[in-house]
């Protein structure tokens, strides 16, 4: 299951990573209502399939034991033992995972990072989520919250971020950032845009990353400039990531990755020129997620499979 601020999406996944069935409901605002919705979706899918375990990919901080949610900015849970509560309700093993970690596992087991020894996944959506895999294992840090790459400061004193800092990478390289850049450019060059200005009719609130990408495909100069800015910041951030982790592959996932043909080649150029030792070291392969919108679902299932197998080994051992 992929539990986000807008929707709860569930899928039945087999051991080969194939998605057999899906179900989606809107995310309720309250804690009890959210758990009711999750349990209801699980039961709905169990009526049609034999289910062995449940993996929950959560947009928030998951404790290192993967049993509770410490904090989720767009969900009701705060220090909540979600895994145990859901397991008790549905009578199945339940494993929690950060959504970007789940996506990284999905791409490593079945997608663009398959077989790599060191892989980083960067999910470009409303913000930036990230996952790091070392020899196929998720690196979580001391308290289960690593790596928060979206909140690396790339512009000191820059745009305000909901995290409380200024100039975070996700404020310049995400769907939200793409819209903000386009709004700034429209205000600065009111006569240069055609498609985007007409579509938004002077209403900055109606500018979205998806609209900007669509306008760029139609040749809108302001939208194309906004995509070029995103490509620049993506390249800068990936150079920082590569300097720290030296990954074999970097997977670009999330909703913004659907528009990768508009910016990814330019981002690669920025990245290759900014990395420390440019021209004298191997570069990470930068690829888009092969599993697309299903990557967190498939990854959550893979995590649940592995956790359940480990528990069974522990019991028999």
**Cβ proximity of 123 and 299 under 8 Å:** no
3-class SS of residue 111: coil
The residue behind tokens 């092969």 is 290
Tens of pLDDT, residue by residue, the chain (317 residues): 999 888 899 999 999 999 999 999 999 989 999 999 999 999 999 999 999 999 999 988 898 888 899 988 888 999 999 999 999 999 999 999 999 999 999 999 999 999 999 999 999 998 999 999 999 999 988 888 889 999 999 999 999 998 889 999 999 999 999 999 999 998 888 777 778 888 777 777 889 999 999 999 999 999 999 999 999 999 999 999 999 999 999 999 999 999 999 999 999 999 999 999 999 999 999 999 999 989 999 999 999 998 887 776 565 55
Long-range contacts of 88-93 (CB under 8 A, 24+ apart): 89/35, 89/39, 90/39, 90/42, 90/43, 90/46, 90/54, 92/42, 92/51, 92/52, 92/53, 92/54, 93/52, 93/53, 93/54, 93/304, 93/307, 93/308, 93/311
Determine the pLDDT at residue 315. 55
Neighbours of 198 (CB within 10 A): 11
The one-character DSSP state at 152 is -
- Residue-wise pLDDT tens digits, 211-245: 999 999 999 999 999 999 999 999 999 999 999 99
What is the biggest distance separating any 2 CA atoms in the chain, rounded to whole angstroms?
71
pTM score: 0.91
Polymer length in residues for the chain: 317
């Amino acid at each position: 299951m992929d539990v986000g601020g807008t929707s709860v999406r569930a899928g039945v996944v087999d051991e080969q990573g194939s998605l057999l069935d899906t179900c989606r409901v809107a995310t309720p605002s309250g804690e009890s209502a959210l758990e009711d919705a999750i349990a209801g979706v699980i039961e709905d899918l169990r009526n049609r399939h034999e289910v062995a375990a449940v993996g929950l990919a959560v947009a928030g901080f998951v404790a290192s034991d993967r049993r509770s949610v410490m904090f989720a900015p767009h969900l009701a849970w705060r220090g909540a033992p979600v895994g145990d509560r859901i397991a008790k309700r549905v009578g199945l093993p339940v494993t929690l995972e950060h959504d970007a970690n789940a996506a990284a596992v999905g791409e490593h087991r079945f997608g663009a990072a398959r077989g790599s020894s060191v892989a980083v996944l960067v999910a470009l959506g409303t913000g930036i989520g990230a996952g790091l895999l070392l020899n196929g294992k998720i690196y979580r840090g001391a308290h289960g919250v690593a790596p928060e790459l979206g909140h690396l400061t790339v512009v000191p004193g820059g745009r305000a971020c909901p995290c409380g800092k200024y100039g975070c990478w996700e404020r310049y390289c995400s769907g939200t950032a793409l819209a903000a850049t386009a709004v700034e450019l429209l205000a600065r060059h009111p006569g240069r845009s055609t498609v985007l200005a007409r579509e938004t009719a002077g209403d900055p609130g109606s500018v979205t990353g998806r609209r900007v990408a669509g306008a760029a495909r139609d040749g809108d100069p302001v939208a194309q400039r906004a995509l070029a800015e995103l490509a620049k910041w993506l390249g800068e951030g990936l150079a920082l990531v590569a300097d720290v982790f030296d990954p074999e592959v970097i997977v670009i996932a999330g909703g913004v990755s659907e528009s990768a043909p508009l910016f990814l080649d330019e981002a690669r150029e920025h990245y290759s020129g900014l990395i420390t030792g440019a021209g004298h070291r191997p570069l990470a392969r930068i690829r888009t997620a092969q599993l697309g919108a299903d990557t967190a679902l498939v990854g959550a299932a893979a995590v649940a499979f592995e956790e359940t197998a480990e528990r069974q080994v522990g019991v028999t051992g």
